[in-house]
């Protein structure tokens, strides 16, 4: 099994990108198979629990208040409204429920509200993930105490390209939040966006930065830019699909044990392109018709694609000591022993 490294150089990563396509995919798939079930895909659902009105100027984001994109601002959803969506996600086969809020940096009272939501979703037997913007160390501790499993905070791009995309926060701000999250004992979900006009070397720089963090992110979302009218990146030349597959393959080689996720942009990918990505090392997707404010393939289409490829959704074992684990151990749900059976007793 390939050893984990945290000392990758930019030159080494660029050399991986330059490999012949078939050689790169063969190497990436061998590493993927050594660390993961090659036919299992972790399935998450992403819900925007507070939409729009963000003061940031991220050039790709339709939720930035300064851009006219047609996205209306909405306040934080209630606990019961989020739970309704979480139950539906679980019934559709999701094992992780991710919640996004368009804040630059939430206030303590807002974190307390999200913590209440997290605890309720966790009680359903789902893994929980949140993305709320920049966090302080005490805020990260609050979310951990509520039962949050993962915190998403993407680096977005290579350090030298970052200033072309965002001006309202610094790269170090992102690194600081990731440090607070790790120190709190939370798992990190951290990746970036490709197709924003960056060079191949800058794509290599993003992956190198991720792979040289003190701990590899447990989940690495690779987003393919979704161009939204009204944002500064609308009209950007689209990334070559094979270059996107290369990015997935290099991410797998650099971070062998991490879950590499096909995130935003999947609605514009053919089934054949997605199949190549799964072979190259992608083993996580978002399920559902929408990612925050952008489109996503529907559940039925994903289930049909899984069936065609012989893939199955990765099931997550419940944590010992949780209410859901106790139900499963006592055979109190529908009796088939699956942690994500979705029956009312298990919820």
Which amino acids are annotated catalytic?
A: 54, 58, 61, 98, 129, 189, 261
As a whole number of angstroms, the longest Cα–Cα distance in the chain is: 56
For the record, the structure tokens of 268 come out as: 């514009």
Strand 127-131 vs strand 290-291: parallel, antiparallel, or unpaired? unpaired
Q: Any idea which residue has 């290099």 for tokens?
A: 250
Can you tell me the distance from the alpha carbon of 171 to that of 205, in angstroms, rounded to the nearest whole number?
Answer: 13
For the record, the structure tokens of 138 come out as: 């005490």
Can you tell me the distance from the alpha carbon of 101 to that of 47, in angstroms, rounded to the nearest whole number?
Answer: 9
For the record, the structure tokens of 16 come out as: 């991986």
Contact 116, 330 (CB under 8 A): no
Can you tell me the distance from the alpha carbon of 74 to that of 47, in angstroms, rounded to the nearest whole number?
Answer: 13
For the record, the structure tokens of 215 come out as: 């701990």
Q: Measuring CA to CA, which residue among 302, 230, 318 is closest to residue 267?
A: 302
Per-residue buried b or exposed e for 219-233, using 16+ beta carbons within 10 Å of the residue's own CB: bbbbbbbbbbeebbb
């Amino acid at each position: 099994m390939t050893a984990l490294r945290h000392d990758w150089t930019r030159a080494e990563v660029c050399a991986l990108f330059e490999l012949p396509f078939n050689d790169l995919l063969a190497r990436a798939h061998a590493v993927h198979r050594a660390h993961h079930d090659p036919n299992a895909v972790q399935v998450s659902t992403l819900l925007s629990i507070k939409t729009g009105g963000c003061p940031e100027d991220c050039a790709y984001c339709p939720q930035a208040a300064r851009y006219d994109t047609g996205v209306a601002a909405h306040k934080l959803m209630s606990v019961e409204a989020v739970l309704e969506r979480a139950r539906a996600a679980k019934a559709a086969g999701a094992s992780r429920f991710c919640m996004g809020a368009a804040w630059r940096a939430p206030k303590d009272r807002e974190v307390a509200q999200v913590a209440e939501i997290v605890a309720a979703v966790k009680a359903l037997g789902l893994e929980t993930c949140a993305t709320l913007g920049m966090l302080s160390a005490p805020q990260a501790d609050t979310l951990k105490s509520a039962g949050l499993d993962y915190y998403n905070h993407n680096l977005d791009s290579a350090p030298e390209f970052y200033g072309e995309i965002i001006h309202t926060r610094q790269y170090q701000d992102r690194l600081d939040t990731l440090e607070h999250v790790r120190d709190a004992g939370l798992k990190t979900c951290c990746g970036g966006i490709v197709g924003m006009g960056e060079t191949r070397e800058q794509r290599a720089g993003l992956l190198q930065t991720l792979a040289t963090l003190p701990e590899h992110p447990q989940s690495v979302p690779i987003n393919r830019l979704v161009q939204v009218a009204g944002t500064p990146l609308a009209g950007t030349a689209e990334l070559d699909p094979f270059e996107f597959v290369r990015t997935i393959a290099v991410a797998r080689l650099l971070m062998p044990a991490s879950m590499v996720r096909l995130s935003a942009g999947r609605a514009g990918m053919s089934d054949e392109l997605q199949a190549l990505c799964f072979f190259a090392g992608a083993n996580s997707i978002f399920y559902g018709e929408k990612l925050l404010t952008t489109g996503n393939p529907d559940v039925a289409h994903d289930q049909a694609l899984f069936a065609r490829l012989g893939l199955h959704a990765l099931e997550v074992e419940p944590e010992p000591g949780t209410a859901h684990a106790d139900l499963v151990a006592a055979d109190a749900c529908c009796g088939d022993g699956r942690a994500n059976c979705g029956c009312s007793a298990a919820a």
